[in-house]
Amino acid sequence: MATFSDVLRLGVELPEVVESTSYGTPALKVRKKLVCRMWGEREYNRDDVHDTEVLVLFCELEIKQVLLDNHPDVLFTVPHYDGYGAVLVRMADVDLDDLADWIEDSYRLRAPATLLRQLDAD
Protein backbone atom coordinates (compact mmCIF):
# COMPACT_ATOMS: atom_id res chain seq x y z
CA MET A 1 0.00 0.00 0.00
CA ALA A 2 1.41 3.35 -1.05
CA THR A 3 0.97 6.49 1.02
CA PHE A 4 1.48 10.19 0.45
CA SER A 5 4.93 9.71 2.00
CA ASP A 6 5.78 7.54 -1.01
CA VAL A 7 4.36 10.16 -3.37
CA LEU A 8 6.45 12.83 -1.65
CA ARG A 9 9.62 10.72 -1.74
CA LEU A 10 9.18 10.01 -5.45
CA GLY A 11 8.06 13.51 -6.38
CA VAL A 12 10.81 15.53 -4.71
CA GLU A 13 13.33 13.76 -6.96
CA LEU A 14 11.95 15.91 -9.78
CA PRO A 15 13.33 19.44 -10.25
CA GLU A 16 11.70 22.06 -8.01
CA VAL A 17 8.86 19.88 -6.75
CA VAL A 18 7.68 20.93 -3.32
CA GLU A 19 5.20 19.58 -0.85
CA SER A 20 2.10 21.74 -0.65
CA THR A 21 -1.66 21.51 -0.26
CA SER A 22 -4.61 21.73 -2.62
CA TYR A 23 -8.20 21.93 -1.42
CA GLY A 24 -6.84 21.28 2.06
CA THR A 25 -5.18 18.00 1.12
CA PRO A 26 -1.52 17.03 0.68
CA ALA A 27 -0.19 17.83 -2.77
CA LEU A 28 2.94 18.26 -4.85
CA LYS A 29 3.54 21.39 -6.89
CA VAL A 30 6.14 22.68 -9.29
CA ARG A 31 6.43 26.46 -9.43
CA LYS A 32 2.99 26.77 -7.84
CA LYS A 33 1.38 24.45 -10.41
CA LEU A 34 -0.29 21.32 -9.13
CA VAL A 35 1.41 18.03 -10.04
CA CYS A 36 -0.80 15.75 -7.95
CA ARG A 37 -2.95 15.80 -4.86
CA MET A 38 -4.69 13.46 -2.50
CA TRP A 39 -8.46 13.25 -2.56
CA GLY A 40 -10.08 15.21 0.22
CA GLU A 41 -12.67 14.08 2.72
CA ARG A 42 -15.54 15.54 0.68
CA GLU A 43 -14.58 13.32 -2.27
CA TYR A 44 -14.78 10.10 -0.25
CA ASN A 45 -18.55 10.33 0.15
CA ARG A 46 -18.90 7.57 -2.43
CA ASP A 47 -20.01 3.96 -2.21
CA ASP A 48 -17.43 2.76 -4.75
CA VAL A 49 -14.29 4.09 -3.03
CA HIS A 50 -14.07 3.42 0.66
CA ASP A 51 -11.14 1.07 1.14
CA THR A 52 -8.20 3.16 -0.04
CA GLU A 53 -6.73 6.62 -0.24
CA VAL A 54 -6.88 8.18 -3.71
CA LEU A 55 -4.32 10.28 -5.57
CA VAL A 56 -5.25 12.61 -8.44
CA LEU A 57 -2.69 12.69 -11.27
CA PHE A 58 -2.69 14.56 -14.56
CA CYS A 59 -2.44 12.78 -17.90
CA GLU A 60 -2.96 13.65 -21.52
CA LEU A 61 -6.63 13.40 -22.32
CA GLU A 62 -5.80 11.42 -25.47
CA ILE A 63 -4.24 8.57 -23.44
CA LYS A 64 -6.53 8.66 -20.43
CA GLN A 65 -8.72 5.79 -21.60
CA VAL A 66 -5.68 3.69 -22.51
CA LEU A 67 -4.32 4.15 -18.99
CA LEU A 68 -7.67 3.25 -17.47
CA ASP A 69 -8.03 0.17 -19.70
CA ASN A 70 -4.47 -1.04 -19.00
CA HIS A 71 -4.68 -0.57 -15.22
CA PRO A 72 -8.34 -1.17 -14.26
CA ASP A 73 -7.55 -2.37 -10.73
CA VAL A 74 -5.46 0.70 -9.92
CA LEU A 75 -6.65 3.62 -12.02
CA PHE A 76 -10.19 4.92 -12.29
CA THR A 77 -12.15 8.09 -12.91
CA VAL A 78 -15.39 9.70 -11.79
CA PRO A 79 -17.81 11.92 -13.72
CA HIS A 80 -16.18 15.04 -12.26
CA TYR A 81 -13.12 14.31 -14.43
CA ASP A 82 -15.00 13.48 -17.67
CA GLY A 83 -13.35 15.31 -20.54
CA TYR A 84 -10.38 16.25 -18.37
CA GLY A 85 -6.84 14.86 -18.41
CA ALA A 86 -6.71 13.33 -14.96
CA VAL A 87 -6.85 9.85 -13.48
CA LEU A 88 -7.41 8.64 -9.95
CA VAL A 89 -5.04 6.16 -8.31
CA ARG A 90 -6.12 3.57 -5.75
CA MET A 91 -3.19 3.91 -3.35
CA ALA A 92 -3.85 0.51 -1.75
CA ASP A 93 -3.22 -1.23 -5.07
CA VAL A 94 -0.57 0.81 -6.88
CA ASP A 95 2.89 -0.52 -7.67
CA LEU A 96 5.58 1.97 -6.66
CA ASP A 97 7.34 1.76 -10.04
CA ASP A 98 4.10 2.62 -11.83
CA LEU A 99 3.42 5.38 -9.31
CA ALA A 100 6.86 6.89 -9.97
CA ASP A 101 6.26 6.81 -13.73
CA TRP A 102 2.81 8.39 -13.42
CA ILE A 103 4.07 11.14 -11.10
CA GLU A 104 6.80 11.97 -13.61
CA ASP A 105 4.27 11.99 -16.46
CA SER A 106 2.03 14.34 -14.47
CA TYR A 107 5.04 16.53 -13.70
CA ARG A 108 5.95 16.71 -17.39
CA LEU A 109 2.51 18.11 -18.17
CA ARG A 110 2.78 20.83 -15.53
CA ALA A 111 6.45 21.85 -15.34
CA PRO A 112 7.92 24.63 -17.48
CA ALA A 113 10.16 23.71 -20.40
CA THR A 114 13.31 24.87 -18.59
CA LEU A 115 12.73 22.29 -15.85
CA LEU A 116 11.94 19.57 -18.37
CA ARG A 117 15.24 20.23 -20.10
CA GLN A 118 16.97 19.99 -16.73
CA LEU A 119 15.21 16.70 -15.97
CA ASP A 120 16.13 15.24 -19.36
CA ALA A 121 19.75 16.34 -18.98
CA ASP A 122 20.10 14.55 -15.62
Yes or no: domain 4-115 corresponds to CATH 3.90.1150.30: yes
Query: What is the spatial distance between Cα 29 and Cα 37, in angstroms, rounded to a whole number?
Result: 9
Strand partners, 86: 58
pLDDT: is 45 or 32 the higher one? 32
Strand partners, 32: none
Query: What is the spatial distance between Cα 19 and Cα 28, in angstroms, rounded to a whole number?
Result: 5
Q: Assess whether pLDDT exceeds 80 at residue 119.
A: yes
Average pLDDT over residues 60-89: 96
What's the pLDDT score for residue 21? 97
**pTM for the whole thing?**
0.93
52 pLDDT band, cuts 50/70/90, is: confident
Question: Structural domain boundaries of the chain?
Answer: 4-115
Tell me the average pLDDT of the chain.
93
Contact of 57 with 75, CB cutoff 8 Å: no
Query: What is the spatial distance between Cα 49 and Cα 16, in angstroms, rounded to a whole number?
Result: 32
